Amino acid sequence: MIQMELKEYLKKTNQDKVCSYFVTRKYVFLDKYLKNAEGRKTALDLGSNLGLFTELMRRKGYDSCGIEIDKEKVKWAKNNWKAKFIHGSAEKIPFKNNAFDLIIMLDTLEHVIDRNRALSEINRVLKPDGTAIITVPNTWSYFYTRSFLTFALRGMKPWKNVHYQQNYFFWEHQINQFLKIIDARPTLAVPFFEPKAISRTRLSKFEFERKGLAWLSAEPIIICKKRGIGVKDNSDNTNLEL
């Protein structure tokens, strides 16, 4: 556990119950599957928000840097963590080609205006043997379907909102044009349970290792490798211990 305990972080940053659940699940996943870095390994957190995951990677031994478009969040992160943070955008990453062993982009891609540019930039700065971990919302999941129906019953028209058209296969197609998808794991794939109820049970193994449920999960975790000439094909590599 990092210096600021996770519960303390969630309380200090005023996360609601649903956000707290998703933050916790992603934290547990990364903490479980990322090996401690040996040698000088580099990591980049795109859309680092308040820096929790950037700091986690630093604690794992990575020379980690977070990029965040909100200057106030960058300031907060610098004051609370030891990792590096800079103000910037995923559409123009200020680093050289093949610079990072690990890149994470958690709950960020859906907010980027030029997603193709951002994915192209990730592929550019990712090392040939590096790994990118991306999480995105999946509107085919129970939680998005429930909110969709709730808005519809209130007389709203959520189907006109592009956010509700972003299902797992939409993201899979877009990401796979720029990065080689080698695996996908589910987060919150069990229907009819509230996040608070699920967080009290031991579902880490069920969620993270049931690969066939990724397309049903609220936030699929998509594992990628670099695309490009001469890049080793890791399509059969499903070992998430990076």
Q: Please, is 36 exposed, middle or buried when counting C-beta atoms within 10 Å of its C-beta (0-12, 13-18, 19+)?
A: exposed
Average pLDDT, the chain: 81
Q: Please, is 222 exposed, middle or buried when counting C-beta atoms within 10 Å of its C-beta (0-12, 13-18, 19+)?
A: buried
For the chain, the structural domain boundaries read 6-226
Chain segment 93-104, per-residue pLDDT in tens? 999 999 999 999
Average the pLDDT over 64-71 and give the result. Answer: 97
Q: Please, is 170 exposed, middle or buried when counting C-beta atoms within 10 Å of its C-beta (0-12, 13-18, 19+)?
A: middle
Chain segment 51-62, per-residue pLDDT in tens? 999 999 999 999
Which residues face 126 on adjacent strands? Answer: 100
Q: Which residue has the higher pLDDT, 155 or 112?
A: 112
Q: Encoding tokens for residue 28? A: 């547990």
Residue 213 CB-half CA count within 13 A: 17
Average the pLDDT over 4-28 and give the result. Answer: 79
- What is the per-residue pLDDT for 131? 96
Q: DSSP letter string over 72-130?
A: HHHHHHHHH-SSEEEE-BTTB--S-TT-EEEEEEES-GGG-S-HHHHHHHHHHHEEEEE
Question: Is the predicted pLDDT of residue 116 greater than 90, yes or no?
Answer: yes
Question: Is the predicted pLDDT of residue 240 greater than 80, yes or no?
Answer: no
Q: Are the C-beta atoms of residues 72 and 48 closer than 8 Å to each other?
A: no
Q: Are the C-beta atoms of residues 41 and 98 closer than 8 Å to each other?
A: no
Q: DSSP letter string over 198-228?
A: HHTS--HHHHHH-GGGGGGSSS-EEEEEE-S
Lowest-confidence range among 10-24, 109-123, 172-186?
Answer: 10-24
Domain 6-226, CATH number (from 3.30.230.10, 1.10.150.530, 3.10.129.10, 3.40.50.150)? 3.40.50.150
Kindly indicate the confidence band of residue 160, based on its pLDDT and cuts at 50, 70 and 90. Answer: low
Q: Which residue has the higher pLDDT, 159 or 4?
A: 4
Please give the helix or strand (H or E) that residue 185 lies within, else none.
strand 179-185
Q: Are the C-beta atoms of residues 67 and 88 closer than 8 Å to each other?
A: yes
- Classify strands 126-135 and 42-46 as parallel, antiparallel or unpaired: unpaired
Kindly indicate the confidence band of residue 47, based on its pLDDT and cuts at 50, 70 and 90. Answer: very high
- What is the per-residue pLDDT for 58? 95
Kindly indicate the confidence band of residue 211, based on its pLDDT and cuts at 50, 70 and 90. Answer: low
Q: Which amino acid is at 158?
A: P
Question: Is the predicted pLDDT of residue 191 greater than 70, yes or no?
Answer: no
Question: Is the predicted pLDDT of residue 189 greater than 60, yes or no?
Answer: no
Question: Is the predicted pLDDT of residue 90 greater than 80, yes or no?
Answer: yes
